Amino acid sequence: MKSWLSGWRFIWKSEDIRRKLLVTLGLLMLYRLAANVVAPGVDFATLTAFRNSETGSGGFLSFLDLLSGGTVSNFSLLSMGVYPYITAQIILQLLVPIIPALQRRMQEDQHAGRQWMERWTYYLALPMAALSAIGQINIFNSLSVRALGKQILPFGFTADTWLTSLTVLMAMTAGTMFAIWLGELISEYGIRGQGLSLVIFAGIVARMPANLASLLADPSTVWFMMTFTIVVIVAVIFAIVYVQQGRRNVPVMYPGRRMGSRMSMPVKGTLPLMVNLAGMIPLIFASALLQFPAIIASYFASSTNEAVKNFAISVQNTLGGTGTNNWAYWLLYFLMVVSFTFFYTSVLFEQQNYGDNLKKVGAQIPGVHPGEATRKYLNKVQQRITLPGAFFLGFVAALPYLLSRLLSLFNIGQASASGLFLVSSAGLLIVVGVVRDIFLNIEAELKLHGYQESLLVR
């Protein structure tokens, strides 16, 4: 404990680290301030009535608010956050092994390849932010018409509304790029490499007070819910840290070095393979893919064709609602998270090119031929250890539904269950990962400045 406290003293003592922390906090405060700016053209009275209605106070919008810090239900300029950028990044990473020209570009010059990837991620983030804004506006208007009989924001490229529609579309797209820019500033002048993660982190933890209030809303169950919540959060955090730190150390023999006329003995080392190489990406991408059909259905929810309209509404209710009774959504969410974890891990692992890299330095896994045989062996090992990691991520994704079913056995309704994690279970996974990365980052900064005492109690 003494080492931990002295570590924090060193944080404030170092002028460089103190400056980086203050810059990070200042930029995050600016982000949260901008997150409360409502998009232009929104009928605020209709928006307030919709949020207080049964349709707007739960389900799809409530789920999105858990990852956005309330910006979705507030119809903020920053409603999409940095998720279009992350989605664009994932798409480009998935295209690299599919398109041979991209794969060659990344392998021939990794520095130039990374610059190309960053540039095109920005280019792709722009249209994706615009499409996300259109989808969100259509979903809001569709749900508000069903709940209140009128739209929150007149939208459509007709003679009467095209200027308003273009203005709000440009403003919301600019809001997303502003959030991405703040994240880049944090990475450059604040906590290094953690900008976008901290922007997402700030949005998630901003919902904690509101979720705590919903948790304590029912006086008859307040003590039970508080105890149950603490137990669940502690258990989930322990499981997340345990799985995230899981490694399989593959033994590797490195060749000895020649020193004059003598040759040193081969060096025994290990190659650590992570149980959860994909991190939080499968949860984000799976939720984005599940929202896409609901966004498309929102275009047809006001169709004059009754059959088309009913089908679109049913798609919205199934894939756009995350209530406790919507088992179909959670089952699809679980299966997509597990499947995408395997797929994304395979893509990332192939990009490491362990077989050729080990062969170039003369290293070899005992009993395995170098080159292609090594690649196949490591790929097989990685797939085996990914299995428990994939099912763990799927379990974390579906945990709100499972716990709400458990609470229903005690006759505790959804109102109390909605704040169970204070953040969503997927959000909790992000929060734990970001907090640990921040501690490791600050610890590295302390050692760089000559402070050897660790921040982390190991």
pLDDT score at 26: 92
Residue 278 has phi, psi (to 5 degrees) of: -80, -20
Task: Compare 67 and 332 and report the one with higher pLDDT.
Answer: 332
What percentage of the chain reaches a pLDDT higher than 90?
A: 3
Q: Of the given ranges (147-161, 166-180, 296-310, 434-448), which has the lowest mean pLDDT?
A: 296-310
Contact predicate 334/398, CB 8 Å: yes
Q: Of the given ranges (7-11, 232-236, 241-245), which has the lowest mean pLDDT?
A: 7-11
pLDDT score at 322: 46
Q: How far is CA 193 from CA 24, 185, 285, in A?
A: 12, 10, 21
CA distance 252 to 246: 19
pLDDT at 413 over 70: no
Task: Compare 348 and 324 and report the one with higher pLDDT.
Answer: 348
Write out the chain in H/E/C secondary structure. Answer: CHHHHHHHHHHHHCHHHHHHHHHHHHHHHHHHHHCCCECCCCCHHHHHHHHHCCCCCCHHHHHHHHHHCCCCCCCECCCCCCHHHHHHHHHHHHHCCCCHHHHHHHHHCHHHHHHHHHHHHHHHHHHHHHHHHHHHHHHHHHHHHHHHCCCCCCCCCCCCCHHHHHHHHHHHHHHHHHHHHHHHHHHHHCCCCCHHHHHHHHHHHCCHHHHHHHHCCCHHHHHHHHHHHHHHHHHHHHHHHHHHCCEEEEEEEECCCEECCEECCCEEEEEEEECCCCCCHHHHHHHHHHHHHHHHHHCCCCCCCHHHHHHHHHHHHHHCCCCCCCHHHHHHHHHHHHHHHHHHHHHHHHHHCHHHHHHHCCCECCCCCCCHHHHHHHHHHHHHHHHHHHHHHHHHHHHHHHHHHHHHCCCCCHHHHCCCCCCCHHHHHHHHHHHHHHHHHHHHHHHHCCCCCCCCCC
> Max Cα separation, the chain?
88
pLDDT at 244 over 80: yes
pLDDT score at 457: 44
Q: Do the two domains 1-206+431-458 and 209-423 of this chain adopt the same fold?
A: yes
Confidence of residue 1 (pLDDT cuts 50, 70, 90): very low
What architecture does CATH give domain 1-206+431-458? Orthogonal Bundle (1.10)
Mean pLDDT: which of 6-10, 188-192, 287-291 is highest? Answer: 188-192
Instruction: Please tell me the pTM assigned to this model.
Output: 0.77
pLDDT score at 178: 92
**DSSP bridge partners of 254:** 267
CA distance 103 to 403: 43
CA distance 397 to 426: 6
Say how many C-beta atoms besides its own lie within 10 A of residue 252's C-beta: 19
Mean pLDDT of the chain: 77
pLDDT at 61 over 80: no
Say how many C-beta atoms besides its own lie within 10 A of residue 451's C-beta: 19
Q: How far is CA 134 from CA 84, 240, 406, in A?
A: 13, 35, 37
CA distance 280 to 284: 7
Q: Where are the domains of the chain?
A: 1-206+431-458, 209-423
Half-sphere exposure of 193 (CA within 13 A, CB side): 9
CA distance 73 to 140: 9
Evaluate the CA torsion angle 46, 51, 55, 61 in order and state its sign. positive
Residue count (the chain): 458
Task: Compare 59 and 429 and report the one with higher pLDDT.
Answer: 429
Fold adopted by 209-423: Preprotein translocase SecY subunit (1.10.3370)
CA distance 401 to 327: 8
**DSSP bridge partners of 253:** 268, 364
For the chain, state the CA radius of gyration: 25
Q: Which of 374, 383, 419, 372 is nearest to 400 (CA)?
A: 419
